[in-house]
């Protein structure tokens, strides 16, 4: 009986998740996405604040070569953003001294690279794959989508706890814990995998348009997989797509983007950033 009541409570939470009001927009790949929990201006302010805080806490490289190299790639990629996205931000690139092979882009026009990324991105095309992927997250408004998704998840769990308290058949704290697990495993993480796959699509398109070889995205992720070794969570708890599936999709997409890449090169977009 208690299990039946618990299922009803969690079902109510799921219904609340589905009807929570957020604006619906269309991503660059045509995917419907919920946004609107925070404004773009707020997102930009938060991105700038987070970037400035990281600069205050973490040392940046003193290498002018690394700074110029990364900035050259960021500028080449962002020039290929469509419409007002190409001029919305005056992108700032920061290179932080950290052995992690990591990078990120934030609303507000902030691109961050950890020095460890140069270990796995071994030429300008591979680093362009990293940069374009991360900028793809910003262009596709994934940060806004994450805020909306988190808001819906919170609302659903809160509703379940209220129902549990009213019925008295299930401890609200237990529902909160279980509801959090359901939201995280069945709602939040799968969306993150969707975003990662979408950023792959957008990133390869951007790098090809900028004159970087889209085939090098495959090399980059092969290097990243080798870097990670076996330290990978189960697929159903991962925020990234399955590695082999990702490589197959990147390789297939690269073949289709070669005309775009060739056209960019013929148009004079031939980046010479380094390293």
Q: What angle, rounded to 10 degrees, do the helices at 124-139 and 64-78 form?
A: 50
Q: Which of 66, 126, 134, 145 is catalytic?
A: 134
- State the pairing for strand pair 32-35/23-26: antiparallel
* CB crowding 237-255: b at 16 or more within 10 Å, else e: ebebbebeebbebbeebbe
Q: Which residues contact 266 (CB under 8 A, 6 or more apart)?
A: none
Choose among 143, 227, 248: nearest CA to 191.
Answer: 143
Among this protein's residues, is 134 annotated catalytic?
yes
Q: Which residues contact 59 (CB under 8 A, 6 or more apart)?
A: 96, 97
Containing 93, the helix (H) or strand (E) segment is strand 92-96
212 close to 150: Cβ distance less than 8 angstroms: no
Positions marked active-site: 134
């Amino acid at each position: 009986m208690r299990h039946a009541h618990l299922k009803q409570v969690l079902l109510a939470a799921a219904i609340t998740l589905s009807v929570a009001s957020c604006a619906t927009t269309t991503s660059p790949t045509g995917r419907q996405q919920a946004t609107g929990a925070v404004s773009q201006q707020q997102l930009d302010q938060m991105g700038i604040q987070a970037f400035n805080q990281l600069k205050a806490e973490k040392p940046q490289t003193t290498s002018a070569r690394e700074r110029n190299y990364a900035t050259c790639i960021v500028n080449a990629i962002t020039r290929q953003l469509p419409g007002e996205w190409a001029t919305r931000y005056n992108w700032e690139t920061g290179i932080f001294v950290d052995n992690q092979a990591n990078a990120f882009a934030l609303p507000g026009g902030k691109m961050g690279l950890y020095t460890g990324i140069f270990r796995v991105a071994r030429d300008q095309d591979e680093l362009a794959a990293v940069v374009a992927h991360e900028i793809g997250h910003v262009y596709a408004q994934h940060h806004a989508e994450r805020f909306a998704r988190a808001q819906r998840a919170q609302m659903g769990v809160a509703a379940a706890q209220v129902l549990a308290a009213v019925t008295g058949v299930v401890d609200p704290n237990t529902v909160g814990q279980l509801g959090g697990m359901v939201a995280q495993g069945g709602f939040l993480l799968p969306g993150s995998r969707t975003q990662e796959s979408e950023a792959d699509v957008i990133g390869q398109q951007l790098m090809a348009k900028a004159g970087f070889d889209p085939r090098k995205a495959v090399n980059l992720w092969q290097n990243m997989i080798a870097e990670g070794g076996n330290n990978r969570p189960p697929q159903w708890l991962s925020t990234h797509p399955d590695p082999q599936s990702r490589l197959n999709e990147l390789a297939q997409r690269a073949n289709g983007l070669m005309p775009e890449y060739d056209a960019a090169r013929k148009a004079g977009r031939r980046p010479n950033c380094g390293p």
